[in-house]
Structure 1
């Protein structure tokens, strides 16, 4: 094995030296342009011959605006967040890491974080958001003075996918300092560092929708108002007809007209649904816009196809989109913390930004109830986790779970009912014990019969492609399910219980009669 001794104790294996080819980059673009600028590769913008500035105008559309707001607010309404000190897995954070997290938290106290979050959350719609960090020097330490989103039109990317600033004069861009900007990007790639723009996918739907609205307004102007039709008297000359036309035109505005004797005036209203075509165009592209931005439509517009099941599914889709936005925001804020750490404490682990979800006490109580049913018993410390102080509650001591006892004799029935429960064990009369035994024997048979019905229903669930399909299949097939075995078990159990009850009643009546004779 060839090698080289670097010192008395250091030996370098020449076979393990990394070839020079592995240290470089092979797949690179040849040249972006003569200025080194990477052209925007967005396919929709290139097809239309537009640049990204047209996307700003799309937010004037009511459906685009409401869809964006509905998605962003899901994340903006979360007010519990913090910087967690960086630490290795299974290790506590170092004092330096804790101090760094506290320092950046303090610096951001005077920053409007809600507005900053909103600017960062614009990245999915426009591809990226340049966020500049304005520093100030305080006693040899760099402090964050402001954090602001800057206009995207002032920035471009070069052939190395670096963010470049070119300002309002659109001059050749120069790369920005990595500690001056944080760059949230929506699904960037090597080929397209500008990010995946959601709004560019709304360009055509908005354009076609505006055309539909224009035609709809023209249709409403022409055919939405009643038509006033006048019939001139027989033999009326052209001047008289023109005078009647002027009177009818005035009638449209003033609802008053004077015509010659023998003339007739009628009002006709447009019948049918000819205008629904243009309304349908607007609704179609409104749905397309909501589908692009939020991935669903029913949280904004029910339409004629909405059901509770579909509404639940669409709401979950919106929750998934909001979770993606939350991850984007957390990544951007963690990048900000990384820059802050590199400037002030290069050797300290970066604080991590995260949202802190408030504890669901209702869900916790439900879990506690289930654990109690399984036999767990809690101390006062457990209830303090619900925000209760020790003087607000007491922990009751419960007895052991009740366990049925063997049937007791008829002579001991009075004593059994008088004593009730003894030592945590319930006592039954022979008749009641017979019912208990009947239930214990019938349950396995009932479960087996119900399992066949459940299997048939699960087959329908697997066959259905949508929630509506499932409802239709259930309505068609529930009447055909074979429930004969389940019904037989139920009938047998009901009959046996009735016979036990009748027999018990007769025994009690006989005992009462015997006691009376004695």
Structure 2
């Protein structure tokens, strides 16, 4: 019995749809069991967290983000204690990888969290060092509210609890029990980005329609068609022919100075100021309208310094985790990485004054030396008092 053409067509359609069914099932299992992202902005916008990267293509957002990144990468660092052979090896490793680790960790500020992977190798000097360390795609990982880090690669339904001591390093910003993914700064900027991009599209369409000059010809009522044809032949753009007794005028809203250009400039300037305030925190100097002053400049520098300190506090735990991993792998003593503080230069005048006070009988506490001379806990030892020997009189 011959099969009908209808059955063949249905089987043919099913065979072509098999790939799409497989992809749908794969995506279902890869997201099955994953905790939903509770960010209201992302939910209303209908985008996933890693898609926020498109905001970095905006010129205003990109330059503000680069300002914060450059400030962090230009921050000096040191290893404490610094006078050990292990500290020299650690300094050599971080001289090579400090920019990559810091920039990857700072992405937690913009996306809520970031994950970096480390690959180790045996160095010619005989210690285990970094062969490579860098940021991995954040959509592969799911931070849990109990501190675990789950790895889910695309197209796979398997879950792996990854190691966070030696292999993977997680950085999160303002993570809570309800939102373990952290707070993404770019999510706050999403609607600013949306209105700015669509505002430029509207402005481009407006210029396309009204940016070119319109030829206006006045003629008798019976000659408007001939006038239109003559104007089009001469201008090849928008033309208008009216009767000599008719009148054409432009109506605009109040406050726009008679032009739509000034209204768009106000709109664009407001969006740019909002973006700068969110990223750079310039709540005063970004909106002075040319009325700046030295006091406002000082406020601007203070705000930038506060933002830099915040970024340093964000990335320091990740940098310290890498230091701890290298120390543990090589059986080294504990070392600490310090950001943003140069080694304190000895004040000779103060040292001479303290010496004279000590010789005069004054005693200083360990806390004084640690505070004034930049020493660490354990650097000072209690002075041993000389033992006075007793002599007996000769008989």
Task: Please tell me the TM-score bracket, short chain as reference.
Answer: 0.5 to 0.7
Matches within 5 A, 1:461-476: none
Q: 1:41 to 1:161 in 2, by over 3 A?
A: farther
Range with bigger deviation, 63-72 or 208-217: 208-217
The structural deviation recorded for 1:237 is 6.4
Instruction: Assess if the C-alpha contact under 8 Å between 1:133 and 1:146 holds in 2.
Output: yes
The TM-score, its normalising length taken from structure 1, stands at 0.53
Residue number among 225, 234, 245 corresponding to 2:212 in the alignment: 225
Residue number among 94, 110, 114 corresponding to 2:99 in the alignment: 114
Tell me the equivalent position of 2:267: 281
Residues 1:60 and 2:45 are matched in the alignment: no
Instruction: Assess if the C-alpha contact under 8 Å between 1:298 and 1:311 holds in 2.
Output: no
Residue number among 165, 189, 195 corresponding to 1:202 in the alignment: 189
Tell me the equivalent position of 1:191: 178
Tell me the equivalent position of 1:342: 328
Residues 1:216 and 2:212 are matched in the alignment: no
Work out the CA distance in 2 between the residues paired with 1:222 and 1:340: 64
Work out the CA distance in 2 between the residues paired with 1:126 and 1:236: 65
Which structure exhibits the higher relative contact order, with contacts defined as CA atoms closer than 8 Å and separated by 6 or more residues?
2
The structural deviation recorded for 1:196 is 1.6
Residue number among 329, 332, 357 corresponding to 2:342 in the alignment: 357
Tell me the equivalent position of 1:148: 134
Tell me the equivalent position of 1:398: none
Matches within 5 A, 1:276-315: 276-296=262-282, 303-304=289-290, 306-315=292-301
The TM-score, its normalising length taken from structure 2, stands at 0.67
Q: Which runs of 5+ in 2 are unaligned?
A: 1-29, 252-256, 354-395
The structural deviation recorded for 1:123 is 1.7
Instruction: Assess if the C-alpha contact under 8 Å between 2:172 and 2:181 holds in 1.
Output: yes
Work out the CA distance in 2 between the residues paired with 1:302 and 1:169: 52
Deviations 1:347-393 (A, max 9, x none): x32433434437799xx89x99xx9xxxxxxxxxxxxxxxxxxxxxx
Tell me the equivalent position of 1:473: none
Work out the CA distance in 1 between the residues paired with 2:168 and 2:51: 24
Deviations 1:188-208 (A, max 9, x none): 223222222110000111112
Q: Which runs of 5+ in 1 are unaligned?
A: 1-32, 86-92, 254-258, 372-518
Residues 1:73 and 2:58 are matched in the alignment: no
Tell me the equivalent position of 2:120: 135
Tell me the equivalent position of 1:246: 232
Instruction: Assess if the C-alpha contact under 8 Å between 1:126 and 1:199 holds in 2.
Output: yes
Please say which structure displays the higher CA radius of gyration.
1
The structural deviation recorded for 1:235 is 4.1
Q: 1:170 to 1:202 in 2, by over 3 A?
A: farther
Tell me the equivalent position of 1:181: 168
Matches within 5 A, 1:420-435: none
The structural deviation recorded for 1:168 is 3.4
The structural deviation recorded for 1:214 is 2.2
